[in-house]
A and B are shown apart, each in its own frame.
Chain A
Amino acid sequence: MKHKVELRNHSIELHKFRLRLTVSAGFVMIFFIILYARFYYLQITQQEHYHTLAEANRISILPLVPNRGLIYDRNGKALAQNYSAYALEIVPSKVPDIDATLDELGAIIEITPNDRQRFKKLMKESKRFKSLPIRNRLTDVEIASFATNRYRFPGIEIKARVFRQYPEKEMVSHVVGYISRINDQDLEQLELNGELNNYRGSHHIGKIGIEQSYEKQLHGITGFEEVETDAAGRSIRVLSRTPPVSGNNLILSLDLGLQEAAEKAFGDRRGALVALDPNNGEVLAFVSKPGYDNNLFIGGIDQENWNLLNNSIDRPLNNRALRGVYPPGSTFKPFMALAALELGKRTAEYSMSDPGYFSLPGVDRRYRDWKPGGHGRVNLHKSLVVSCDTYYYSLANDLGIDNIHSFIGQFGLGRKTGIDIEGEVSGLLPSSAWKMKQYKQKWYAGDTISVAIGQGYNLATPLQLAFATMVIANNGKAYLPRLIKQIQNSQTGDIEDVPAKLLYSVNLKPQNFEIVKNALVDVTRPGGTAAKAGINTAYTFAGKTGTSQVIGIKQGERYNEKSINERHRDHAMFIAYAPAENPKIALAVLVENTGTGGSTAAPIARQVFDYFLLGQFPEATIAQFTESVEDHAHEHL
């Protein structure tokens, strides 16, 4: 019985369903007829009307590109500016034979093979109706000679354009970055962010550096002009106009004078320097040597210059301050010392005898001090002043890697500082969990020993080291490092301060900071590893030298600078702040392949301080310093 009911239900169900399906098919037909009627109305009945409208869609809405905001240093010196000039532009769809036309044009105005190549590339990436530049920055003579021949070149016009320029070029290229032509990827990103409309008419977008990270501020709001045009697309008159809103001007915290002083102190060495204001995290100098001429990228860089930059052994495109990772070397020791005091593993009074090496209990391997024979009796103060390795080997063994990791992590090593330009890397502050995850291996006691002196798995960027130095200098305040200081509203001219941001505080006992900081002052005094750099200063100056190993030295071998390929020589490191009692500037210096921190990196810091605190522009170049410290003991593992 039950079975029968179900069967009956089933067929009723099916019948009902098919009825409903037929009804929906009817609806589909009705709606399609509605659509069809609409198309008929638009395309037959109203065709004339819309045809006229389309023809008269000579009332085109033209975007008015806003002027890009300018970029200044903290004293109002221009780092990125705009200038107006004339460009020769071609609309490819109106020119039947591009090559022949370019040949003809070349007889009147100089067109280099590079111009041609760049133009061809642009043509491939753009719509046929877009006006594309073949030559920028025409001279008056060129404008005049084209004007008299204009009738011969339909589809080619001279247009007034605004160009970007970076007057300081190499010196600030790693901070300012550059704008370049908008490509497909940029378009996709703009579409995703719903900003595409605001870029109608814009040709350029910030690609890197401040130009990229503050794109929203700098770009401005695109205006529109309703223009009546003739059949050829030339505008006859303007019907209405919504003016564009220029981008806002940026005032960076960067001090161009200081940047220049640092640049000069480096001479032609490779390296990086980051200087922060310990009172608010402002970036005072941000150097990565060598730099590159960022003006080259604006119009699209040509192959020749690109190869030159990209294949250079000096890697000028690499932002060493932001993205270069180096073992921090002995600059790691002040943080180890703070850990020892704060976690109660050492007192300031405790001293040990340094035989010149350290061995783990029951293991033969000797971890050598950089000074053969050792430093004699060493306490915490002396361990920093003479940069004793043995002291830290034994300390690290007592602390253990995970204590080191969590304590020193507070100083910002091993993670991004959050500076306001993109591309920062996080470096590496190893831990046992990290090693397990990365290599599926447990942490060995021996691994900790090399970490103690900033080698081994340890990696940090110069920016991170400057950040960590700032946190020591101001007794534990971790400010967000930022390049932006103020934003000037383009409409009102009002300047708005960007407030400092305290990320967190590292709460340590004040006397522990004091013990370590006293030792750091003595590093720059007679007997310290940076004594030469500290001679005759008008202010007190605290710092720590370091050496960052490029290649490993085998057990039982000695590092011999002269016998090693220049690119494999150690990097010199120095972290410092001044004046020691009331720090106004904290910095980290890295000089690639030049040996020890005391001999090459510390003098750069000294010159930067002299400029910043006393207004003295560096005169002695680094080469003279190096000569005078030839005899300086080689500081090493």
Chain B
Amino acid sequence: MIELRKIWYYFTRYIDGFLLVGILTLMSVGLIILYSATGANISKVSHQVINISVALVVMWLVANIPLQQIRRLALPMYVTGLALLIGVTLFGEINNGARRWLDVGITKIQPSELMKIAIPLMMAWYFDKHEITLRLRDYVGATILLMLPVFLILKQPDLGTAILIAASGFYVLFLAGLPWRIIVGLGVAAASSFPFVWATMHDYQRQRIMTLLDPSQDPLGAGYHTIQSSIAIGSGGIIGKGWQNGTQTQLDFLPEQSTDFIFAVFSEEFGLVGNTLLLLLYLVIIGRCMIITANASTQFTRLIAGSITLTFFTYIFVNMGMVSGILPVVGVPLPLISYGGTSMVTMLLGFGILMSIQTHPKLIKT
């Protein structure tokens, strides 16, 4: 009995129970909706169960590593990630018109996925080192660190990932105390540089933005996604059409219904009531993450935790925004719910770091 208790203690000592319950609840919702979205395809659901299990193991492992150890990885991870991204630009495999994967012999990897963790780590590490003497040029340096990978990922082209990584880096800048006047200035600069950005965009990216303004312009092409997902959400009404009864979903009007557009399936079948509960669930998880962030003991851990939390939020907002037709269609999954292994692992790796920050002894109490 005592032995069992001991094992249990060692197994759970670095796990944040509150966060874990929230995550597991979301994943269960995800599996239920995946079952419906795939037309009762058991093999796809079991595959997702495997993805989830792998991701949970990764989370557990990361949660058990103290942050001081992870901190040492910041620079090497960033440099490796950057080198791999350059590798992709030079020798990457072209798939679907984009160069995102790199074949490293044993397996194919997507270096931009590594960057999702490497960027917050690297930038938090950078600000932590310059903590005492934070000057304007430190922010400039950090911005350069951020823009290098973002630029390379934009070139692949992978707009969705580039936005997420840029956001995760911006959050570190913001939380580290980037002066307000600069933030406002950047906003103005971004708005005025729009014509230039427009000129460098790929045709399909421009088309997505045009389609957002008027989906009916291109009902069979890029607008098809937005039109069909809006119909799915809208026709769900207050209580939804019921599990496995969404006509948009089951009659295959919805595109990519198990991955990026799974939220439309959820919305159609569970209605506004379901959406409310789902938003609340996400909000509870974000709230817990914010508490962990606020209680973190060092500038490094605070910045990491804050960036991970806000990036998690960004995933949710961008995905739901694009599915409900207020943002252009960029490839961003709904965290913890969309089908797919890579994003699941990246996401839980982030939660592992948060748990490690919360549960490992804090060196300085403030």
Whether A43 lies near B237 (C-beta < 8 A) is yes
When the two chains form the complex, which single residue of B231, B283, B290, B294 contacts A57, counting CB atoms closer than 8 Å?
Answer: B231
Contact in complex: A21, B294 (CB < 8 Å)? yes
Q: List 23 A-B contacts (CB under 8 A).
A: A14-B302, A14-B366, A21-B293, A28-B286, A32-B279, A32-B282, A36-B275, A39-B272, A42-B233, A43-B238, A44-B237, A44-B238, A46-B234, A47-B237, A49-B234, A50-B235, A51-B235, A54-B247, A54-B248, A60-B251, A127-B39, A127-B250, A193-B96
| Beta-carbon nearest neighbor of B280 in chain A | A32
Query: C-beta contact mask, A232-273 vs B, less than 8 Å → 1, else 0?
Result: 010000000010000000000000000000000000000000
Chain A residues 215-242 with CB under 8 Å of chain B are 224, 233, 242
Judge whether B62 is part of the interface by a CB distance below 8 angstroms.
Answer: no
Q: Which residues of A contact B272 (CB under 8 A)?
A: 39-40, 43-44
Contacts of A24 in B (CB 8 A): 171, 174-175, 306, 310
Residues of chain A with a CB closer than 8 A to B321's CB: 35, 38
In the assembled complex, B252 has its CB within 8 A of some CB on chain A? yes
9-residue interface stretch from A4-12, A382-390, A612-620:
A4-12
* A192, B236: Cα distance in complex, Å: 31
Nearest CB of A to B144, in Å: 22
Shortest C-beta distance, B124 to chain A (Å), equals: 12
Choose from B39, B271, B302 the contact partner of A17 (Cβ within 8 Å). B302
Return the CB mask of B297-315 against A: 1 if under 8 Å, else 0: 0010010001000100100
A113 to B91, CA, bound (A): 53
Task: A50 to B241: give the CA distance in the assembly, Å.
Answer: 13
Query: Closest residue of chain A to B312, judged by CB?
Result: A28
Q: Does B182 reach chain A (CB closer than 8 Å)?
A: no
Q: How far is the CB of B24 from chain A (nearest CB, A)?
A: 22
Q: Is B43 an interface residue (CB 8 A)?
A: yes
Residues of B within 8 Å of A50, CB to CB, are 230-231, 233-235
Contact indicator B220/A39 (Cβ below 8 Å): no
Q: Which residue of B lies closest to A130 (CB)?
A: B39
Task: Give the distance to chain B from A615, nearest Cβ to Cβ, in Å.
Answer: 48
* Cβ of A203 under 8 Å from chain B: no
| B220-252 interface (Cβ within 8 A of A) | 220, 230-238, 247-248, 250-252
The interface residues of chain A lying within 8 Å CB-to-CB of B95 are 192-194
Chain B residues engaging chain A, CB cutoff 8 angstroms: 39-41, 43-44, 95-97, 131-132, 171, 174-175, 177, 220, 230-238, 247-248, 250-253, 267, 271-272, 275-276, 279, 282-283, 286, 290, 293-294, 299, 302, 306, 310, 313, 317, 320-321, 324-326, 366
Residues of A within 8 A of B220 (CB): 61, 224, 242
CB distance from B143 to the nearest CB of A (A): 17
A28 near B326: Cβ-Cβ < 8 Å: no
Interface of A: prevailing SS: helix
Q: In the complex the two chains form, is B175's CB within 8 Å of A20's CB?
A: yes
Most chain B beta carbons < 10 A, residue from A21, A36, A194, A233:
A21
Taking CB atoms, residues of chain B closer than 8 Å to A38 are 321, 324-326
Measured as residues with beta carbon below 8 angstroms from the partner, the interface class of chain A is 35 or more
Interface presence of A439 (CB below 8 A): no
Q: Are B253 and A57 in contact (CB under 8 A)?
A: yes
Tell me the minimal C-beta distance from A85 to chain B in angstroms: 26
Query: Is the C-beta of A508 less than 8 angstroms from some C-beta in chain B?
Result: no
Contacts of A193 in B (CB 8 A): 95-96
With a 10 A CB-CB cut-off, give which of A32, A54, A184, A192 has the most chain B CB atoms. Answer: A54
**A25 contacts across to B, CB distance below 8 A:** 290
Would A11 and B366 be within 8 Å (CB), given that A49-B234, A50-B235, A54-B231 are in contact?
yes
Q: Which residues of A contact B310 (CB under 8 A)?
A: 24, 28
Closest A-chain residue to B98, C-beta based? A194
Q: Is A16 an interface residue (CB 8 A)?
A: yes
Name the B residues within 8 Å of A49 (CB-CB). Answer: 234
Q: Known contacts A43-B238, A127-B39, A192-B96; can you find 10 more A-B pairs with CB under 8 A?
A: A21-B175, A21-B306, A39-B272, A42-B230, A43-B234, A43-B271, A44-B238, A50-B231, A50-B233, A128-B39
Q: How far is the CB of B109 from chain A (nearest CB, A)?
A: 15
Assess the A20–B174 pair: CB atoms within 8 A: yes
Could you tell me if A17 and B175 are in contact, using CB atoms closer than 8 angstroms? yes
Knowing A20-B174, A39-B267 are in contact, say whether A129-B252 is a contact too (CB < 8 A): yes
With a CB–CB cut-off of 8 A, which chain A residues contact B313? 28, 31
CB–CB A43/B175 < 8 A: no
